[in-house]
């Protein structure tokens, strides 16, 4: 059921539901959209973040993120992505800066013949009536002559998917929330020290913030806030993205002619040259453990070399392209890659929303709607998102 459906039951039925005051910790995609949907439900919300919305330490703080619906057999994430796409586009329509939040570039899946994940993705998308196009080798070469696809027998395109301007979108959503009465604060929250039902949280600066319910949606900081519970269940890892400059006067690499892509077997994903930033190349392989507060964010030569080798083989015209920008961010990985969205086992009015595992940003609106339903309507957590389903041994299954 949509949020509008259960909101209608709450306000239109004979029973009056008291909507709680809520503090949401973390203003990334999960936290900001949770604040949005709680506000829509009538809650008074405080949204607090240690560094502010869209900051460079956050997993939501890079320039761009891909929105795709393909997820192998994991159709639950396909549904969340399709649902979220509506809200990201809607946010863009309400945003009046003149700079777009959504680029409908499409998403291209590249994989060798017989790849199991590609086959599962195709079957799931076909079964769910998602928009897809299949390109054979000739059609692929005709449509994207600047992309070397000699090793690809066929490719999958998701024409209704594309690129979200991540940092800008989070900042736009946060500003919209503030205009609707959400209190935005900057501060670091300490973990609850009293077991059971809690009534307040304390910041590291000594402020006390009171509410009826609390949501911790603080990404890579979650295991540090709850080390005994999540220290071994969520692992932040160092991840690198690079932007390579495109030739002067050459628009082949813009979103008009190049889609976002997932080169699954290579462990490389990327974004076309959006707003003149250059072609974005991201390495999906999990890096070493990472502290989002203090770890070094200097780009390493091994990552540059790997990206250049891939770039030369897939985009030959960019083999010698200059590196114009690079960022080090982080994933916050659960053992399987499934999200963690559940009530804290020691606090009946504390919810956890995290474990984005490198693919969470796109799902922010659907996750926010889902968390709001847990709090306001008392829905039950999906088993795949439950805390008890999160192990301590990495066995990545969701990409």
| 104-159+236-329: CATH class | alpha beta
Is pLDDT of 13 > 60?
A: no
- The C-alpha atoms of residue 240 and residue 134 are separated, in whole angstroms, by 30
Query: Would you list the domain boundaries of the chain?
Result: 3-61+167-234+336-389, 104-159+236-329
- Predicted local confidence at residue 3, as pLDDT: 40
* Residues 391, 233: Cα–Cα separation, whole Å: 6
C-alpha separations of 117 from 66, 111, 226 in Å: 18, 9, 34
Q: What is the mean pLDDT of the chain?
A: 94
pTM to 2 decimal places? 0.95
The CATH number of domain 3-61+167-234+336-389, selected from 3.40.50.2000, 3.40.50.10320, 2.40.50.140, 3.50.50.60? 3.50.50.60
Nearest-angstrom CA–CA distance, 201 and 191: 7
Label the pairing between strands 208-210 and 200-202. antiparallel
> Residue 259: its pLDDT value, please?
98
Give the Cβ contact number of residue 386 at 10 Å. 15
pLDDT at 113 over 90: no
Q: What is the mean pLDDT of residues 131-149?
A: 96
Q: Is the pLDDT of residue 16 over 80?
A: no
Whether residue 294 is predicted with pLDDT greater than 70 in this model: the reply is yes
pLDDT, one tens digit per residue, over 317-337 is 999 999 999 999 999 999 999
- Summarised one tens digit per residue, pLDDT across range 143-194 is 999 999 989 988 999 999 999 999 999 999 999 999 999 999 999 999 898 8
In the block, which residue shows the tokens 């939040």? Answer: 101
Task: Measure the CA–CA gap between 212 and 214, rounded to whole angstroms.
Answer: 7
């Amino acid at each position: 059921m949509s949020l509008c459906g259960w909101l209608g039951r709450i306000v239109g039925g004979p029973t009056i539901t008291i909507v709680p005051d809520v503090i949401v910790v973390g203003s990334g995609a999960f936290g900001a959209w949770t604040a949005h949907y709680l506000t829509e439900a009538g809650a008074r919300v405080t949204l607090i973040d240690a560094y502010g919305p869209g900051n460079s330490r956050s997993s939501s703080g890079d320039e761009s993120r891909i929105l795709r619906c393909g997820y192998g057999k994991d159709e639950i994430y396909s549904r969340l992505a399709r649902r979220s796409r509506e809200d990201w586009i809607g946010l863009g329509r309400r945003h009046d800066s003149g700079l777009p939040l959504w680029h409908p570039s499409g998403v291209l899946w590249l994989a060798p013949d017989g790849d199991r994940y590609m086959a599962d993705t195709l079957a799931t998308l076909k079964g769910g009536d998602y928009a897809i196009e299949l390109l054979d080798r000739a059609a692929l070469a005709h449509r994207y002559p600047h992309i070397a696809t000699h090793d690809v027998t066929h490719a999958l395109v998701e024409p209704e998917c594309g690129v979200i301007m991540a940092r800008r979108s989070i900042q736009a959503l946060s500003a919209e929330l503030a205009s609707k009465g959400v209190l935005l604060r900057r501060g670091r929250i300490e973990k609850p020290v009293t077991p059971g039902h809690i009534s307040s949280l304390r910041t590291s600066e000594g402020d006390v913030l009171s509410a009826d319910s609390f949501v911790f949606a603080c990404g890579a900081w979650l295991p540090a806030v709850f080390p005994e519970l999540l220290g071994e269940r969520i692992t932040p890892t160092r991840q690198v993205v690079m932007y390579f400059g495109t030739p002067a006067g050459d628009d082949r690499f813009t979103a008009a002619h190049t889609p976002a892509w997932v080169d699954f077997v290579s462990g490389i994903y990327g974004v076309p040259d959006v707003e003149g930033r250059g072609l974005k190349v991201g390495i999906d392989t999990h890096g070493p453990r990472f502290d989002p507060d203090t770890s070094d964010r200097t780009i390493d030569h091994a990552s540059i070399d790997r990206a250049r080798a891939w770039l030369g083989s897939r985009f030959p015209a960019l083999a010698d392209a200059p590196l114009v920008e690079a960022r080090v961010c982080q994933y916050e990985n659960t053992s399987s890659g499934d999200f963690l969205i559940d009530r804290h086992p020691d606090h009946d009015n504390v919810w956890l929303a995290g474990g984005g595992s490198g693919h969470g940003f796109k799902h922010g609106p659907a996750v926010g709607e889902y968390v709001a339903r847990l709090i306001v309507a008392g829905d039950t957590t999906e088993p795949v998102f439950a805390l008890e389903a999160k192990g301590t041994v990495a066995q990545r299954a969701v990409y």
